[in-house]
Structure 1
Amino acid sequence: MAAVFAKPPFGRELRAEKQAANTAAGEFKATYGETYVQRDSGPLKADIYLPEGEGPFPGVLVVHGGAWRMGTRGQLSGVAQMLAKNGFTAVAISYRLAPQYKFPAQIEDCKDAVRWMRSNASRLKIDPQRIGGYGYSAGAHLVSLLGTTDVKDGLEGLPSELAANAPSTRLQCIAAGGAPCDLRPIPDDEDGLSFFLGGSPATCRDQYRLASPAAFITPDDPPMFFFHGETDALVPLHSPEHMRAELEKAGVEAQLYVVPSLGHMAAGLDRGAIERAIVFLSEHLKATE
């Protein structure tokens, strides 16, 4: 079975992403290193990219990749800049990494970030009813899981009575590139994700279900846009194809853009794919209103 993770883009590839972002229209202000939640291990930080104007703007949570065990919130700074220049308040976050922190720590951090965005909506000029998610690779997995789960699924990181009364972690639109969408088919004896999930499927099968966005699809899920490299050898193209089919079966709008001739790393930097993702977010979060 192909691997379901990838290393983050650094160096020359990341610089190319940032240079591509600079051609977008509009201005923004960036604030770096705000604490969105305090853990025993220390504060988790967010970088805020705020458009010019009074707002309120749609918000987008931006979640980096890196196999759930590496990467930084600055990894998708170019995308966050593009979002801000196109009328979104973009919030790029750090989250706890494996193997020191096993799942569900990562999705719990993402859910705390969404609560923080809603709790600080006025200051961040965010419309709390219009928040989406953008991620690539491991980050795409996490925003997809945000898209399909809610308080009933046990991944909120809070006792059920507190989660029910806290700001919602539901998102209104998802854009996910190179996303591992369903970990349930992984064979029992394959332990490649033990660092993340705590064991092989034979020893902790429920962890693989809980970490599978496709396992939680319901008709009330938000519209989802997937993009994926045609020759991706790390996350098979079947992953978003299956996810799209299951979402459509449930009556949820889903689109898949296959980036021709590109693998996992290159597809994440493809300007056309990123632009399509932003157009999809704009259409569904009504950024131009």
Structure 2
Amino acid sequence: MIDRRTLLLASMAAFVPATTLARQSSPSPKTFDYGTAKLDIYAPDGASGLPVVFFVHGGAWEYGKRSQVGAKPAFLLANGFCFVSIDYRMLPEAAVATQASDVEKAYAYVSANIAKHGGDPKRIVGMGHSAGCHLIALTGMRGGLPGVAGLLLDDTRAYDLAALEKNGGMVRAYARVFSDPSQWAALSPASYVDGRKHPPTFIAYSGASGRGEESKAFAERLRATGTEVTLFDGSAYTHMSINRDFGSDGDALTAAALAFLKSTVG
């Protein structure tokens, strides 16, 4: 759960008047082709050396697009960050393993080019919701995001696919995507946790079925490696609102996530 230090930082973050600014302006991104798909870079005018949030959208590994970012760009720009949102190939065109490769390619492009747009390539935090949360966790844990400064994981059950099946959580939505058990280990972020310390990780879970149990188990496994973990109890949120409300006035997850970002790369 969130420790006292993180709660203090979150309470401080709540006083940042960024959401007022977010409502006043909707920043326009610059779009780039990173090889297999496109990504959008949002940066304040005249920015230089700002920390970066690299976002991967959700959509059950089959739907969604990079423009579905809500208030995130305006909120984060107002708080001194650059923001990047990517597209990636999805089912049925691309299997999950290919999607993870796309995420890594997009990250490599951003790492190599973000300085030209005002970002600091040494201060990138990977963030994802739902399927995007799984992909950020997977690529981050297996070393596919070299130099990433932190991970902000927003609500998935797909941390350990074998455990998910054992616990009765391999429901239709997951069983359809992860239909081959021989691939479960390779596609499970938990497979890459043991044996080394990972970048600071923020794990949020909603009140949707099983999210808390899977997130807590993953957090404990990370903590056993010495990784700094912040666990956010978002059980008051739905699976959709925990993403949609990010950047809203008075939103608890927003305050806690901003505190994590500031303490990690701010």
The 3 A distance-change label for structure 1 pair 34 and 266 is: same
Does 1:184 find its partner at 2:159? no
Amino acid in structure 2 at the alignment position of 1:275: A
Choose the corresponding residue for 1:244, options 207, 214, 219.
219
The answer (yes or no) to whether the contact 1:99–1:195 under 8 Å persists in 2 is: no
1:33 corresponds to = 31
1:226 corresponds to = 203
The answer (yes or no) to whether the contact 1:27–1:51 under 8 Å persists in 2 is: no
**How far does the alpha carbon of each residue in 1:190-249 deviate from its partner, in whole angstroms, 9 at most, with x for none?**
68445434x332xx2xx21111111111433100001111x212x521111011101111
1:175 corresponds to = 152
Q: CA RMSD in A?
A: 2.6
The 3 A distance-change label for structure 1 pair 63 and 131 is: same
The 3 A distance-change label for structure 1 pair 277 and 177 is: same
TM-score for both structures, normalised by structure 1 = 0.74
2:244 corresponds to = 269
**How far does the alpha carbon of each residue in 1:169-204 deviate from its partner, in whole angstroms, 9 at most, with x for none?**
34111111112322122438968445434x332xx2
1:163 corresponds to = none
Q: Distance in 2 between matches of 1:81 and 1:132?
A: 17
Is the partner of 1:185 in helix, strand or coil? helix
The answer (yes or no) to whether the contact 1:182–1:214 under 8 Å persists in 2 is: yes
Q: Distance in 1 between matches of 2:171 and 2:232?
A: 30
Amino acid in structure 2 at the alignment position of 1:128: P
TM-score for both structures, normalised by structure 2 = 0.80
Shift of 1:120: 0.7
Q: Distance in 2 between matches of 1:128 and 1:79?
A: 20
**How far does the alpha carbon of each residue in 1:118-155 deviate from its partner, in whole angstroms, 9 at most, with x for none?**
111321222111111111111111111232112xxxxx
The 3 A distance-change label for structure 1 pair 29 and 269 is: closer
Instruction: Give structure 2 stretches of 5+ with no counterpart.
Output: 1-16, 246-250
Q: How many residues were matched structurally?
A: 239
The answer (yes or no) to whether the contact 1:132–1:172 under 8 Å persists in 2 is: yes
Is the partner of 1:120 in helix, strand or coil? helix
Instruction: Give structure 1 stretches of 5+ with no counterpart.
Output: 1-19, 151-155, 157-167
1:196 corresponds to = 177
Choose the corresponding residue for 2:132, options 124, 139, 144.
139
Matches within 5 A, 1:44-193: 44-150=37-143, 169-180=146-157, 181-187=159-165, 192=172, 193=174
The answer (yes or no) to whether the contact 2:156–2:211 under 8 Å persists in 1 is: no
The 3 A distance-change label for structure 1 pair 259 and 80 is: same
Amino acid in structure 1 at the alignment position of 2:226: G
State, as a whole percentage, how many aligned pairs show the same letter: 28
Shift of 1:54: 3.6
Shift of 1:284: 0.4
Q: Distance in 2 between matches of 1:55 and 1:28?
A: 20
Q: Distance in 2 between matches of 1:24 and 1:219?
A: 40
The 3 A distance-change label for structure 1 pair 54 and 101 is: closer
Is the partner of 1:74 in helix, strand or coil? coil
Q: Distance in 1 between matches of 2:21 and 2:218?
A: 30
Is the partner of 2:88 in helix, strand or coil? coil
**How far does the alpha carbon of each residue in 1:59-110 deviate from its partner, in whole angstroms, 9 at most, with x for none?**
1111101111101111124213222221111110001111221121111111
Does 1:214 find its partner at 2:212? no
The 3 A distance-change label for structure 1 pair 23 and 130 is: same
Structure 1 window deviating more from structure 2 (242-251 vs 254-263): it is 254-263
Q: Distance in 1 between matches of 2:28 and 2:203?
A: 27
Larger RCO (CA under 8 A, 6+ residues apart)? 2
Q: Distance in 2 between matches of 1:221 and 1:133?
A: 13
